[in-house]
Amino acid sequence: MTPEDLQDALLVTIDLAVQHLRLRHGSRLLFEAPVSTAANGPGERRDSGCTPRGWHVIRARIGAGCAENTVFVGRRPTGERYTPALAERYPRRDWILTRILWLSGLEPGRNRLGGVDTMRRYIYIHGSPDGVPMGVPGSHGCIRMRNRDVITLFDLVRPGTRVLITDGEAP
């Protein structure tokens, strides 16, 4: 089996109903972690602040080799490391930390193209401050993870890995 075959068999599932992510290779569970998705719930429309459902693919991996708590703005490291003091200085920032897995929808009209395009909505799986609760909705549409968890996931997946986001229904 080639590395490409391994990646083709990987599947990330994110269940919005239980705020949980799983990475599987076939029927084998490789990794799982709690997440925090949109406070506004599921939805695909641009500017909705919702987490899009359906089939996606990891289009880009950003942040390889960056230190834990590296701050990203516009998908670029700012040179800052997240601290509570930094958070006090910038209370309105939506903290995107450590790693970014940028998602792209695969279903035209549902999560790809037009006013529902996941990639153009800048929907990521990314790290967040340690104090951000997991297992409850709270993001602006992205999938937030603990920093250690997003590093683990980042190291296991590649661009092209499939991602299925569901709202409680079985994949």
Within 8 A by CB and 6+ apart from 98, the residues are 63, 66, 68, 69, 70, 126, 127, 147, 150, 151
- pLDDT band at residue 6, thresholds of 50, 70 and 90? low
Residue 24: both structure tokens together: 């599987």
List, for residues 39-64, the tens digit of each pLDDT value. 999 999 999 999 999 999 999 999 99
Provide, rounded to the nearest whole percent, the portion of the chain with pLDDT above 90: 92
Residue 62 CA to residue 76 CA, distance in Å, equals 8
Using pLDDT thresholds of 50, 70 and 90, give the confidence band for residue 168.
confident
More confidently predicted of 120 and 2: 120
> Which pLDDT does position 169 carry in this prediction?
74
Confidence class of residue 171 from pLDDT cuts 50, 70 and 90? low
- The 10s digit of each residue's pLDDT in 107-158 is 999 999 999 999 999 999 999 999 999 999 999 999 999 999 999 999 999 9
String of DSSP letters for 62-125: E-TTPPTTEEEETTEEEEEE--HHHHHH-TT---EEEEEEEEEE-SBTTTBSGGG-TTTTT-EE
CATH superfamily membership of 3-166 = L,D-transpeptidase catalytic domain-like (2.40.440.10)
